[in-house]
Amino acid sequence: MPWYQEIDRAQWRTLIAAQLGWMLDAMDVMLYSFALTAIRSEFQLTAAAAGALGAAPLVTSALGGMLFGWLSDRYGRSRALVWSILTFSAFTAFTATARTIPELIFWRAIVGVGLGGEWAAGAVLVAETWPERHRGKAIGLMQSAWAVGYLLAAVLAGIVLPRWGWRPLFLAGILPALITLWIRRNIPEPPKWRQPSHSFSGALGSLFRPPLLRNVLLFTMLCSSVLFGYWGMFTWLPAYLSMPISKGGAGLSILKSSAWIVPLQIGAFFGYLSFGFYADRVGRRAAFLTFVLTTSLLVPIYGLFGRNATLLLAIGPLVGFFGHGYFSALGAMAAELFPAAVRTTAQGFGYNAGRALSGLAPVTVGALADRHGIGAALAFTSIFFVLGGALMMLLPAERESAA
């Protein structure tokens, strides 16, 4: 019997809910990246300052991961997913009202709180609902929605930015709120979830004591390294494509740079999907190493050959495929590393503490771009993909998750 016939209707609905949340998370995050050039122009920002603005939601996502992680463990995965989507969608729309830099930082910081909670709640919801033998496929399918959200942001940017500017672009961020109505009506809590009695402080405290401490620290370091590489590369990628060649960019128009993103994100979509199937066959550790080490080789090529637009178009799908697919490992890993009572709290903390630390990546790449050009700065991020591969070797091999 084909594997997909083993999955019942309720499990498919759960996956779709998590996919929608992750897709809209990606769309809201990447709207800023596409608007970056216009925002820099309006507020007269250096590349480093623009990178710092991009870091704001990444830093506050650590708080969101812990808060919504505990809410997920305490009140349910489905409820926490809805609350997190409502938070980031509403405050993305409020970003359009910003008239000063402090206002812009404030709105983007609150967006980060909602973004931090969405991944943990959605990934645990899927991991606890789907059979263990198909967990890699399920998380890969969920993660593939990120590429769709990225493409939605690219399409919106291509349509809205040239005509109306960056503020109306952020107003589109309210659309994800509509999805929560369907999720709340159709997605029950997974059978493995049981409402725990511990407080927020008690849940966090258990993460930093044996036997969980080692896995929490390693998982956080792993997430930090690959997220640093990812956000350093992909926050600046749209700006790299549209930046003048004299500054190390590719010199494409806004419309062309959006178009160049499309094949890259198609590659990302298939990278997410392929990782799950590949990992279920050869193991997540081997699959993860294949993807991150290949990314570490491709990124310098992409960053240092910006003058050749045809080459960028040709290797873009490979950068997307390998530069995204490894994220499909993280949700399935965390479901096995941590017990159900604190699973989302642990996963939310580890992933989003990594996201917060990776908030230094846009700033670092921006500062390097001011000195050495944006292409060379992007090439620098390959170091962190190699580091991620080394950290993966220190984590336990996959096994059946705790109940």
Residue 328 lies inside a defined structural domain of this protein: yes
Average pLDDT, the chain: 81
pLDDT level of residue 118 (50, 70, 90 thresholds): confident
CATH number for position 285: 1.20.1250.20
Kindly list the distances between the CA atom of residue 162 and the CA atoms of 45, 92, 166, 270, in Å, as whole numbers in the listed order.
20, 20, 9, 30
What's the pTM value of the predicted model, to 2 decimals? 0.72
The length of the chain, given as a count of residues? 403
CA dihedral (193, 347, 289, 213) in degrees, to 10, reads -110
Residue 188 lies inside a defined structural domain of this protein: no
% pLDDT > 90, the chain: 12
Q: How far apart are the C-alpha atoms of 100 and 400, rounded to whole Å?
A: 50
pLDDT in tens, 164-195: 888 988 887 787 777 887 887 778 777 666 65
Average of per-residue pLDDT across 334-361: 77
Residue 199 lies inside a defined structural domain of this protein: no
| Closest residue by Cα to residue 348 from 330, 360, 336 | 330
Residue 117 lies inside a defined structural domain of this protein: yes
Residue 183 lies inside a defined structural domain of this protein: no
Residue 185 lies inside a defined structural domain of this protein: no
Higher-pLDDT residue of 80 and 322 is: 322
Q: Please say if the pLDDT value at position 204 is more than 70.
A: no
Q: How far apart are the C-alpha atoms of 169 and 362, rounded to whole Å?
A: 21
Average of per-residue pLDDT across 109-134: 81
Residue 397 lies inside a defined structural domain of this protein: no
In this prediction, residue 1 carries a pLDDT of 66
pLDDT in tens, 280-331: 788 888 999 999 999 999 999 888 876 777 888 888 899 999 998 898 888 7
What single-letter amino acid sits at 20? L
In this prediction, residue 238 carries a pLDDT of 77
Q: How far apart are the C-alpha atoms of 280 and 265, rounded to whole Å?
A: 23
Full domain range(s) for residue 276: 10-177+210-392
| Domains contained in the chain, number | 1
Kindly list the distances between the CA atom of residue 217 and the CA atoms of 73, 228, 289, 349, in Å, as whole numbers in the listed order.
20, 16, 20, 10
What single-letter amino acid sits at 218? L
Residue 246 lies inside a defined structural domain of this protein: yes
- What is the Cα 35 distance to its own chain's centre? 18
Q: How far apart are the C-alpha atoms of 313 and 296, rounded to whole Å?
A: 18
Which value, in Å, is the radius of gyration of the alpha carbons in the chain?
A: 20
Contact status, residue 22 vs residue 122, Cβ threshold 8 Å: yes
